[in-house]
Chains A and B, each alone.
Chain A
C-alpha cells in the first residue's frame, strides 16, 4: 500500500493516520500541532470551541471531529486561521471573568496558553463582566464559574469515566452554563470526590483542588516549561495531558 492512502497532508507535511482517527488525533500523534481546547484524547470529541478549525481541501472543518481520510490537504498555520483563532480566544476571554494575574491556574491554563499561542495582546472586545457564582461548598474542590468556558470536559469525565453525571450544560446561547446535579445545585451536596476524573480535567481555572493555590513556583509551571505547541510536539504519540 502506498503512503498516500494512509496519510493526510497537513501544511504540506505528510501525516500518517490509522483508520478511525480524527485529523487532530493523527496530527498530534505525528507531532504536528493543531490548536484545540475542548478536545481531550480520553474523551469523545465535542466540537464546540472551534479552535481546531482547519481548512480541508478548501473548506473549514473542525479537526477534532472530522475523520482523517486519504486525499485530505489540510491548512493549519495560515495567517487567516491564526487571526480567526485569536478572535475565538478573545471572545472566550471577554465572555467570562479571566483575570490571569491573580488566577492560580496561571501558567497551567490552556486558555492562557492558547492566548499566547495565538499572540493575543488585548481582549479586543468589550468585556461582559458577567456575574457568576463561586461554589465552595465541597470540602476539597472549588468551582469558580467565572472562568468556565463550557467545554463540557467535566460533564464528559463525570458521566463517562466516573459514572456520576454530576455536571450538565443547561440553557441556550448566551444563557448556557454548567450546573451541578444536586437538589441544592451545590457541589457539596453531591457524591463528587477529589479522586474523580472530573476533578482533574478542567482546562482553565474553573474546577480547582482547594488549598493548592500557587504551590508551583513561577518558572516551573506547565507552560513556563514549554509553550503549548512545543508540548504537543514533544508528547507526540504519548497521551496528551
Chain B
C-alpha cells in the first residue's frame, strides 16, 4: 500500500480538489495535498453525499423494501431489487424458487449487466481510451465518439438498449420496474416477448465479442501502460458456484490474494460477517470493508469484473471463457491489478452475460408459468447477495414480528472497492502528477482510474454522464488560489 492516505504535516500543503468527479454515477470528490514543488503528499477519494437509506427504510414493511431500495441507483436499480428480494425470500419464509422464477430473475440480471457494462464502456470510458486522457475536453465524450466512430457508438447504444429491453420485458419497465417479488416473480414471459429477444440476441453476442476485441486492440497499442496504469495489488473477491465457476446470481464467497492464492472459498454469504469487517474513516461517508483475518491494512480487496474473472476457475460459456483465457495469458500467469484492465474484464463479462441470456432464451422453462415458491413460516433475518455489474452486493435485513424492517445493512459494490480505488488513484497521482504543474488532462488521469472501477459513488443518482468538473487550488490557509471548470 502506498502511504499517501494521510500526509505527515498537512498544514504546510496546498490542496487541490476534483469535484465532482465527472462521468461517474453520483457525487465524489478527490482531494490532493501538494507541497511547493507540487510533490504529492496525500490523495483521497471522498464520498460527500450521505443518503442514510439504511435508516430510512427501518419501520417499512419488508415486502416494500426491494422496490424502495432500487431508488438507490439510477444505473443498476435491478441489482438492488434482486439482492434485496433474495433477502426477503428468506424473511418471508419461502423455500427454493421454481425453475422458471429463478431463470427469469437470472435473465433480468444478465440484461442488467449487459446494459450497465455497455453504458459504462461505450458512454463513460471509451472517450478516454479512444481519444487519450489529455485529449480535447470538448470532444472527450460519447458525442465525440459518435462523430469519430459512428458504428462503434451505434453498437454501444443498441447493446445497452437490448439489455434495457430484457429488463422491460421482465420488470415491466426499463427502469424502476417490479417483476421480482419475494418468493418468485410476478409475471410469466410471453412467447412473443421471448421470440423478439431471441431474434436479437445473436447480434448482441457478436457485438459483445467485437467489444472485447476492441479492448484488446487498445491494449496492444501500449501493453505496459494498460497493465500498470493505476495498478494496486489487491485481494480479490467474488461469488462462485459449487464448481468454482463464476455465477452472477448466486453462489458462495471466494477470496484470493494478490498473487492468486486462496484466502477463503465457498463461504455461505449469509455468514459474511464472519469473514468481512467494515471500518469507518472520519474523512469519507463510505465505509472501508476488509477481510477480517488479514486486518484493515492488508485485508482490503477488489470486487467487480477485474476480480471476478480472476477469482473464478471458469466462466461457463464458451466464447467468454476463451476470452478469459486470453486475458489471463496477458498476465503471464500472475493476476492483473491495473485499473484499466477492468475494461477488458468488463467486456468479457458483457459477452458472458449475452451468452447466458441466449442460453436462457433457448430454455423452455423461461416461458413457464409456475412462478411462486412454496411458503413456510416467516423468518427473522435474511441476507441476499449477488454479483452486481460493479461487484459483490450485500443486502442484509431483519424484520420484526409485525413485518416491519428493524435492521438493514448494505455493502454496495463500490464500498467493497473503496480502498482499492483509493490505492489506484494514489498510484496514478504519484506516477503521473507528482512534481508537475497540474493541468486538466493530468487531473483527468485520476478520473480515468476512478472511472475504470465504474463506481456508483452515491448509489443514488440524479445525473448521469456529463457532470461538471471543478478544480479548486487552495493554499495551505484555505484561500482559493485559482479555479478551473469544465462541462
Which residues of A does B touch, CB under 8 Å? 101-104, 134, 136-137, 142, 188, 208, 210-220
| B186 contacts across to A, CB distance below 8 A | 214-217
- Say what secondary structure dominates the interface of chain A: loop
Other-chain contact of A220, B63, B187, B404 (Cβ < 8 Å): B187
Which residue of chain A lies nearest to B61 when distances are taken between CB atoms in the complex? A142
Counting CB contacts under 8 A, is B370 at the interface?
no
| A212 contacts across to B, CB distance below 8 A | 63
Q: What is the minimal beta-carbon distance from A182 to any residue of chain B, in angstroms?
A: 15
Q: Which of B61, B71, B173, B403 has the most CB atoms of chain A within a 10 A radius of its CB?
A: B61
Tell me the complex Cα distance, A142–B61, Å.
Answer: 9
Which residue of chain B lies nearest to A103 when distances are taken between CB atoms in the complex? B64
Tell me the complex Cα distance, A217–B61, Å.
Answer: 19
| A137 contacts across to B, CB distance below 8 A | 402
Q: Could you tell me if B403 and A214 are in contact, using CB atoms closer than 8 angstroms?
A: no
| B59 contacts across to A, CB distance below 8 A | 134
26 sampled A-B residue pairs with Cβ under 8 A: A102-B71, A104-B67, A134-B59, A136-B404, A210-B61, A210-B403, A211-B63, A211-B403, A212-B63, A213-B63, A213-B64, A213-B181, A213-B182, A214-B178, A214-B181, A216-B186, A217-B172, A217-B178, A217-B179, A217-B186, A217-B187, A218-B172, A218-B173, A219-B172, A219-B187, A220-B187
- Say what secondary structure dominates the interface of chain B: loop
Q: Nearest 8 A-B pairs (CB), nearest first?
A: A218-B172, A213-B63, A217-B187, A136-B402, A102-B68, A214-B178, A217-B186, A136-B404
Q: What is the minimal beta-carbon distance from B419 to any residue of chain A, in angstroms?
A: 32
Which residue of chain B lies nearest to A217 when distances are taken between CB atoms in the complex? B187
Q: What is the minimal beta-carbon distance from A163 to any residue of chain B, in angstroms?
A: 27
Which residue of chain A lies nearest to B176 when distances are taken between CB atoms in the complex? A101
Tell me the complex Cα distance, A214–B171, Å.
Answer: 11
Please, what's the 1-or-0 string for B399-415, where 1 marks a CB less than 8 Å from any CB in chain A? 00011100000000000
Q: Which of B68, B177, B178 has the most CB atoms of chain A within a 10 A radius of its CB?
A: B178
| B64 contacts across to A, CB distance below 8 A | 102-104, 213
Q: Could you tell me if A104 and B63 are in contact, using CB atoms closer than 8 angstroms?
A: yes
Other-chain contact of B67, A102, A136, A188, A208 (Cβ < 8 Å): A102
| A142 contacts across to B, CB distance below 8 A | 61, 403
Tell me the complex Cα distance, A186–B216, Å.
Answer: 64
| A219 contacts across to B, CB distance below 8 A | 172, 187
| A216 contacts across to B, CB distance below 8 A | 186
Tell me the complex Cα distance, A142–B405, Å.
Answer: 13
Q: Could you tell me if B403 and A134 are in contact, using CB atoms closer than 8 angstroms?
A: no
Tell me the complex Cα distance, A142–B173, Å.
Answer: 27
Q: What is the minimal beta-carbon distance from B373 to any residue of chain A, in angstroms?
A: 14
Q: Could you tell me if B61 and A136 are in contact, using CB atoms closer than 8 angstroms?
A: yes
Counting CB contacts under 8 A, is B242 at the interface?
no
Which residue of chain A lies nearest to B177 when distances are taken between CB atoms in the complex? A218
